């Protein structure tokens, strides 16, 4: 497993690569920078801990400049340039153990495949038929991490202007803010 201690920063510099850890412990004050990558966490994290870590990195102003949590220097740089990008996440329960995937995303990409398309809308509409008592997820359309799916999420989906445009993944990761 991986443990990121307070004051430590783990940088996943794999472009659009995918990383998997069997378990993750993120101490208060620790930071993980996923860049353009995706991180799969097999155990050791809860849904609430994941969302709290994303929110900590996102910061109160939504500029992704938080010094702790799970964030992305690539997202931070793109948001600073006025390009709406974020971190998406998927979660599932298998044999009583929760697993999660978190990574570079755009609002509307409900399956984290790098495209906003009809498959994503299908995921959202399928989730609408689910149990209303279940926790809201990214693939159900909660693109701003506020624990509900509402008109703000759909506005973000269409505001990014990526529906049907193919891959939104940059060919090369933009430089992180302050890095040349």
Question: Mind listing the pLDDT tens digit for each residue in 28-37?
Answer: 999 999 999 9
- Of residues 14 and 24, more confidence is placed in 24
DSSP class of residue 30 equals -
Which tokens is 154 given?
A: 């759909």
| Tally of CB atoms within 10 A around 19 | 16
Give Cβ neighbours of residue 159 (< 8 Å, ≥ 6 apart): 84, 107
How confident is the model at residue 133, as a pLDDT? 67
User: Tens digit of pLDDT for each residue in 109-160?
Assistant: 999 999 999 999 988 888 776 666 677 889 889 999 888 888 999 999 999 9
- How much is the pTM? 0.88
Find out whether 54 and 71 touch, Cβ atoms under 8 Å. Answer: yes
Q: Is the predicted pLDDT of residue 180 greater than 70, yes or no?
A: no
Find out whether 72 and 35 touch, Cβ atoms under 8 Å. Answer: yes
């Amino acid at each position: 497993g991986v443990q990121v201690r307070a004051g430590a920063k783990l940088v996943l510099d794999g472009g659009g690569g995918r990383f998997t850890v069997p378990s993750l412990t993120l101490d208060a004050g620790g930071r993980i920078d996923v860049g353009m990558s995706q991180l799969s966490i097999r155990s050791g994290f809860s849904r609430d801990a994941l969302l709290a870590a994303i929110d900590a990195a996102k910061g109160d102003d939504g500029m992704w400049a938080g010094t702790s949590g799970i964030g992305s220097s690539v997202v931070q740089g793109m948001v600073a340039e006025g390009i709406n990008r974020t971190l998406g996440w998927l979660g599932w329960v298998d044999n009583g153990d929760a697993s999660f995937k978190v990574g570079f995303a755009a609002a509307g990409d409900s399956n984290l495949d790098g495209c906003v398309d009809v498959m994503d809308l299908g995921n959202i509409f399928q989730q609408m038929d689910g149990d209303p008592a279940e926790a809201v997820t990214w693939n159900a359309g909660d693109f701003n991490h506020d624990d509900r799916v509402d008109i703000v999420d759909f506005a973000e989906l269409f505001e990014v202007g990526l529906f049907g445009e193919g891959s939104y993944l940059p060919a090369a990761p933009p430089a992180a803010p302050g890095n040349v």
